[in-house]
Chain A
Amino acid sequence: MIELGHFAAFLALAAALAQGMFGLMGQRRMAGLAAYAGFAVMILSFVTLVVAFARSDFSVALVANNSHTLKPMIYKIAGAWGNHEGSMALWCLVTLGFGAAGALWMRTGRDLFEARALGIQGLLAVGALAYLLFASSPFLRLDPAPFQGAGLNPLLQDPALSIHPPMLYLGYVGYSFVFALAAAGLMEARVDSVWAKEARRWSLAAFIPLTLGIALGSYWAYYELGWGGWWFWDPVENASLMPWLIGAALLHSVVVTEKREGFGAWSALLAVLAFLFSIMGAFLVRSGILTSVHAFAVDPERGMLLLFGLLTYGGFALVLFAMRAPKLSGGKPWMLLSREGALMANNIVLIVAALTVLLGTLFPLMAEAAGRTISVGEPYFNLTFTPMLALLLLILPVVQAWAWGKADLKNWSKWAIAGGALALVFLALGVGLWDISIGAALGLALGAWLVIGALWELKRRAITPGRIFRLPPRVWGMTLAHMGLGLFVIGAVVETTGRYETTVALAEGGSGTVAGWTLTLDQVRAIEGPNWYADRAQLTATRGSAKAIMTPMKRYYPAAQMPTTETAIHKTGTGDLYAALGEQRMVDGAPRWVFRVYYNPMIDLLYFGVILMALGGAFSLWPRRKA
């Protein structure tokens, strides 16, 4: 059956080629049909791959290397994209999917532009499919077929991780279509309001899943790795953060293009960069040139091919940009202190922030080339990225009220007083009552500043309270996103400054304490699952009258010969009590079990904030009601 998938992928390649040709020739209708056809056959191809995984067909090399009969069905299916080749098939599927979606939903009334956008999307799909078919084919057979597969990396056998890659890819690859729109716009030297309306929708369509994908990955790392934290500044995490930052900049810049016809060249450049950074993310992860805690399959040759793709796409787009950018119109005039100026500042800060992340991620490589082994960790990012973010958040509530063209600045003293008062209140509370550092107190003030500012802006736009629910969805989207950002900041500051952690080695019946909770080890039992066995500890956690049973596990997967940590998390209402079981240790001849125990306050608020940001994006995507 897998041959059918292989054949279908070749058909998809042919369709993508046709899409590219018709598109660049300006045949909108034909390019659209080719896009539908390509997507349809790629679905067929991908489904045969998934079926091979679901049926544990070990005559397919990829299945044999990454699956196992004892795996639960959901992980057999998710296993189809839990490896390099399968994830590249997913990449192709999403590329073609965005082409088909574009053919269906683009509404600019400009046939040539739309045809070219589809054409470029088709060529991007050709690149992806060629890489899939000739450099990382998931369709190869094994002869003889083994009786049993090698199993999926047990760390990936997790519900959040089954949807994390598709989400992330919807985001990464979503920017391919934004790239195509930018290139098509540059080709006709027309990056104007109509272009921006279209580009904005597709940027949102990529930004929302990218946001959720990053959050899912972070949440997975939080409970599956057993390290108690939610962000580790790992190169792979940074690789997803950079397109996100550029995507966020793009969302703000494209609004100026839409409403005022300004920033056209800049928006097009960001659209190109968002996709290039997405490919760079794939390159950094797949090539193995960076040391990362995410142990992915590593292959320098494939890395070189990805680098080649990155340079080809990047070279093409940047040359096109250099040729056409001077011809783009500058839009309506504006003063520096205006909404345009504010959004420009937003963009500069976001891009500089992305550059600091890029430097921190690539610096170890440069140092290695210079013969020194160096790693860059959290302190670097706290010192460089955090001030940039703080600057952005500081100006946000003030400048979002500014008008196009020229801001009315008569309220600035009120803003300054309100902001100053808020900072003083939090400083007094933080240092006097909560006993936290000045930096943390200011961080909390900043988060509150954002939330209040977002609500204030909503009220200002509504003019009268009764009109709040009749505001356009995108105003709500902006409010939710900015509020989400504020809640995320509050959650992040509270979690980082208020986290307690301790390590205890307990004999059965022994107990330890963290953040006022007493944890008593009742027993440790050996249990068995479908494809693993485990030591499961039962802890009783008590604090005053509150009581909870926690059962952290140490699982062992025989197929992969690998242990994993299954943390136990008790939601206390204000935070997470979090326990990870470690190894058994012989201390003075008696066995003890070692536990890493954390109290992570308000961590849910942090994730809630991120979800609110994604929800805000969804609202912004919602079309305005026709009056």
Chain B
Amino acid sequence: MRARTRRLYTFGIAALLLLAAAVLAFFALRENANLFYTPEILAEKGQPEDGKVVKVGGWVEPGSLAYSEDGATMIFTVIDNSPHTIRVSYTGIAPDLFREGQGVVATGQFGPEGAFTARQILAKHDENYQPRELKPLDVAG
């Protein structure tokens, strides 16, 4: 086989695979890149379509943390500088640095009543960490 023909095939195969990967990546990014919601953004844009996995970020409202009857699920309210809030429930262990008043980022889905069911809660391992997406909370009074 002549080197030229071979090179043509090589580039053809590479281009085909790259194209396939690009198409896959395009759909994967459109479907699976998690959009980020704070209470303010949620109020502005409205709830995402049912079943779409998104991220919710904000600050855990002091005094809002409660548990389900069997103790496995924690339920708390996320706030930001707006008057809006999001109710988040999460079945699992709270991250080590989860506290009321601290920033959290939760990944999960919104339910019909606007309640957010998280499948993962992130709070960094470092006490100095602050989620990049969050603006500091105004300290009231």
Chain B residue with minimal CB distance to A330? B3
How near does chain A come to B124, taking the closest CB pair, in angstroms?
A: 5
Closest B-chain residue to A226, C-beta based? B93
Contacts of B133 in A (CB 8 A): 291, 373
- Cross-chain contact B25 with A374 (CB below 8 angstroms): no
B72/A375 in contact, CB under 8 A: no
Q: How far is the CA of A581 from the CA of B92 in the complex (A)?
A: 10
- Complex Cα distance A275/B45, Å? 44
Of A349, A367, A582, A588, which one neighbours B93 at CB under 8 angstroms?
A582
Nearest Cβ in chain B — how far from A353, in angstroms?
8
**Contact between A583 and B33 (Cβ–Cβ < 8 Å)?**
no
Question: Who on chain B is nearest to A504 by CB?
Answer: B72
B24 interfacial contact with A, CB 8 Å: yes
Question: Which of B3, B9, B32, B35 sits near A377, CB closer than 8 Å?
Answer: B32
B5 CB to nearest chain A CB (Å): 8
Chain B residues whose CB sits within 8 angstroms of the CB of A291 once the complex forms: 131-133
Provide the bound-state CA to CA distance between A380 and B21, in Å: 11
CB of B140 within 8 A of chain A? no
List of A residues within 8 angstroms of B18 by Cβ: 352, 355
Given A153-B125, A376-B33, A387-B24: A336 and B93 interface contact (C-beta under 8 Å): no
Query: Are A363 and B29 touching (Cβ within 8 A)?
Result: yes
| B-chain residues with CB within 8 Å of residue A503 when the two chains form the complex | 72-73, 91-93
Helix, strand, loop or mixed for chain B's interface?
mixed
Is residue A562 within 8 Å, beta carbon to beta carbon, of the partner chain? yes
Docked CA distance A293–B95 (Å): 12
Alpha-carbon gap, A339 to B34, bound state (A): 42
Residues of A within 8 A of B25 (CB): 356, 359-360, 380, 384
In angstroms, Cα B96 to Cα A562, docked, is 8
Residue A565 lies at the interface, judged by CB distance under 8 Å to chain B? yes
Whether, in the assembled complex, A13 has its beta carbon less than 8 Å from a beta carbon of chain B, the answer is: no
Q: Do B67 and A295 touch across chains, with their CB atoms under 8 A apart?
A: no
B contact residues around A564 at 8 Å (CB)? 96
A563 at interface, CB cutoff 8 A = yes
Q: Which 5 A-B pairs have the closest CB atoms?
A: A505-B71, A582-B93, A295-B126, A379-B32, A383-B28
**CB of B122 closer than 8 Å to a CB of A:** yes
B17 touches A352 (CB 8 A): yes
Q: A363-B29, A375-B55, A585-B71 are in contact. Are A336 and B14 (CB under 8 A)?
A: no
Our pick among A336, A372, A384, A580 for the contact of B28 (Cβ within 8 Å) is: A384
14 A-B Cβ contacts within 8 A? A155-B125, A333-B3, A336-B6, A336-B9, A352-B21, A364-B33, A376-B33, A379-B28, A380-B28, A380-B33, A503-B91, A505-B67, A594-B72, A594-B93
Q: Are B31 and A379 in contact (CB under 8 A)?
A: yes
Question: Given A291-B132, A384-B21, A384-B28, do A374 and B92 touch, yes or no (CB 8 Å)?
Answer: no
Bound-complex Cα distance A594 to B10 (A): 56
Whether B94 contacts A583 by the Cβ 8 Å rule is: yes
Q: Are B94 and A367 in contact (CB under 8 A)?
A: no
Q: Decide if A592 touches B28 in the complex (CB within 8 Å).
A: no
Q: Interface residues, chain B, CB within 8 Å of chain A?
A: 1, 3, 6, 9-10, 13-14, 17-18, 21, 24-25, 27-29, 31-36, 53, 55, 67, 69-74, 91-94, 96-97, 107, 122, 124-127, 129, 131-133
* Least CB separation from B2: chain A residue: A333
A587 at interface by CB-CB < 8 Å:
yes
Contact of A374 among B1, B14, B34, B72 (CB under 8 A): B34
A380 with B67, Cβ < 8 A, contacts A562-B96, A562-B127 known: no
**Does more than half of chain A's interface fall in helix, strand or loop, or is it mixed?**
mixed
Given A293-B124, A335-B1, A505-B67: A374 and B33 within 8 A (CB)? Answer: yes
Q: Residue A596 at the B interface, CB < 8 A?
A: yes
- From residue B105, how far is it (CB to closest CB) to chain A in Å? 9
Identify A383's interface contact among B32, B35, B96, CB under 8 A.
B32
Select which of A349, A376, A581 is within 8 A of B32 by beta carbon.
A376
**Chain A interface (Cβ < 8 Å from any Cβ of B):** 153, 155, 226, 291, 293, 295, 330, 333-336, 344-345, 348-349, 352, 355-356, 359-360, 363-364, 367, 372-377, 379-380, 383-384, 387-388, 503-505, 561-565, 580-583, 585-588, 592, 594-596
Complex CA–CA separation, A376 to B127 (angstroms):
24
One of B17, B67, B72, B92 near A348 (C-beta < 8 A): B17
Q: In the complex the two chains form, what is the Cα distance from A384 to B131 in whole Å?
A: 27
**Within the assembled complex, what's the spacing in Å between the Cα atoms of A356 and B92?**
32
A580 CB to closest chain B CB (Å) equals 6
CA distance A30 to B62 in the complex (A): 68
B32 contact set on A, CB distance < 8 A: 376-377, 379-380, 383
What residues of chain A lie closer than 8 Å to B24, measured between beta carbons?
356, 383-384, 387
Give the residues in chain B near A376, CB-CB below 8 Å. 29, 32-34
Q: Which of B13, B29, B97 contacts A380 (CB 8 A)?
A: B29
Asked if residues B94 and A375 are in contact (CB atoms below 8 Å), the reply is no
B48 to chain A, nearest CB (A): 13
> Cβ of B125 and Cβ of A562 under 8 Å apart?
yes
In chain B, what residue has the closest Cβ to A156?
A: B125
Chain B: CB-nearest residue to A561: B127
Asked if A334 and B1 make an inter-chain contact with CB atoms under 8 angstroms apart, the answer reads: yes
Nearest-CB residue, chain B, relative to A596: B93
Q: Are B33 and A356 in contact, with the CB atoms below 8 A? A: no
A384 / chain B contacts, CB cutoff of 8 Å: 21, 24-25, 28
Chain A proximity of B78: nearest CB distance (Å): 16
Q: B127: shortest Cβ distance to chain A, in Å?
A: 7
CB–CB A587/B33 < 8 A: no
Contact A295 B27 (CB under 8 A): no
Q: Contacts A503-B91, A587-B71, A594-B93 hold; do A375 and B1 have CB atoms under 8 A apart?
A: no
Cβ of A383 and Cβ of B55 under 8 Å apart? Answer: no
Q: Is the CB of A565 within 8 A of B129?
A: no
Verify B28–A334 contact, CB threshold 8 A: no
Residues in chain A near residue B31, CB distance under 8 A: 379, 383
Closest to A406 in B: B1
Q: A293-B122, A334-B1, A374-B36 are in contact. Are A565 and B96 (CB under 8 A)?
A: yes
Please judge, given known A-B contacts A295-B124, A594-B93, whether A374 and B35 are in contact too, CB under 8 Å: yes
**Knowing A293-B124, A295-B124 touch, does A375 contact B96 (C-beta < 8 A)?**
no
CB distance from B15 to the nearest CB of A (A): 10
User: Are B126 and A375 in touch, CB under 8 angstroms?
Assistant: no
Residue of B nearest to A363 (CB): B29
Q: Report how far A587 CA is from B70 CA in the complex, Å.
A: 8
Q: Which residue of B lies closest to A289 (CB)?
A: B132
Closest to A592 in B: B71
Q: Are A596 and B6 in contact (CB under 8 A)?
A: no
Docked Cα-Cα span, A133 to B2, in Å, equals 54
Extra 10 A-B pairs, beta carbons < 8 Å, given A352-B18, A375-B34, A562-B96: A293-B124, A348-B17, A355-B21, A364-B33, A374-B35, A374-B36, A564-B96, A582-B93, A583-B94, A594-B92
